[in-house]
Amino acid sequence: MTRQRIIEKAAPLFNQRGFSGCSMQDVMEATGLEKGGLYRHFKSKQELAIEALRYALSATNDAHFVDLSTFSSATEKMLYLVARFIEVPSPLPGGCPLLNTAIDADDSNPALRAVAQQGLSGWKLRLEKIVQDGIVSGEISAQIEPRRVANAFIATLEGSLVVSRLEGKRTAMRDAQKTLEIMIKSLRSGG
């Protein structure tokens, strides 16, 4: 279907250049369609951008959250998630769409923001669930607050992306990985 093809071509552009930095002209060139062809499928640039973000979010989610059922331990799941996040390259150019949208659509464009919020919320809930399950199983100390761990986990990962991006090298990501590994291991009861 053409609509889907447009979304797939537009997603990396919006992700790399931001909403106002990516023009419909850019999308035209990427898809080979004309203005009219685009507006046939999306009533506005905004609508296209939202669909593109949704697509980008689910694509990166698919890349990071693979089947974790092979791991029985909560901390092993978390260690695996960190490793994947750090090692698996972003499936779409421009890096984490959550991060990009958080900054790009700060005040303007609340619709885009809402989609990103939803994506973040989903990610966080999954993490909290893992920690919570670890507590229930006795693997993780009951003192630990799942929300705090999830927040710190995501913050460290996303922040390392920011630093790496600015520096143009992956050192900060590897340092974040190592730090998170220590943090995760320290969650273990009596750890």
Partner DNA sequence: ACCTACGGGACGTCCCGTTTAT
Partner DNA sequence: ATAAACGGGACGTCCCGTAGGT
**Tokens representing 149?**
């761990």
Task: Return d(Cα 123, Cα 63) in angstroms, integer.
Answer: 13
144-178 burial, b at 16+ Cβ within 10 Å, e below that, comes to bebeebbeebbebbbebbeebbeeeeeebbeebbe
For a second copy, give the closer residue by CB, 4 or 108: 108
* Residues forming the site for DNA (CB under 7 A): 1-3, 20, 22-26, 32-37, 39-41, 43-46
Task: Return d(Cα 142, Cα 54) in angstroms, integer.
Answer: 36
For a second copy, give the closer residue by CB, 136 or 152: 152
Outline where 32-104 has alpha helix (H): 35-41, 45-64, 74-87, 97-104
Contacted by 110, from a second copy, DNA, none: CB < 5 to 8 Å by type: none
Contacted by 190, from a second copy, DNA, none: CB < 5 to 8 Å by type: none
Which span (2-10, 29-37, 40-48, 110-118) binds a second copy, by CB under 8 A? 110-118
Which span (35-43, 60-68, 128-136, 177-185) binds a second copy, by CB under 8 A? 177-185
Helix (H, G, I), strand (E, B) or coil at 140: strand
User: Distance between terminal CA atoms of the chain?
Assistant: 53
Which span (4-12, 31-39, 55-63, 156-164) binds a second copy, by CB under 8 A? 156-164
For a second copy, give the closer residue by CB, 5 or 93: 93
Task: Return d(Cα 134, Cα 151) in angstroms, integer.
Answer: 17
For the CB of residue 52, give the shortest distance to DNA in the complex, in Å. Answer: 13
CA–centroid distance for 118 within its chain:
11
**Tokens representing 189?**
């009861």
For residue 83, state whether it binds a second copy (rule: CB under 8 A). no
Task: Return d(Cα 69, Cα 46) in angstroms, integer.
Answer: 38
For the CB of residue 129, give the shortest distance to DNA in the complex, in Å. Answer: 39
Residues in contact with a second copy by the rule CB under 8 A: 16-18, 20-21, 94-95, 98-104, 106-108, 113, 116-117, 120, 145, 147-149, 151-152, 154-163, 165-167, 171-172, 175-176, 178-179, 182-183, 186
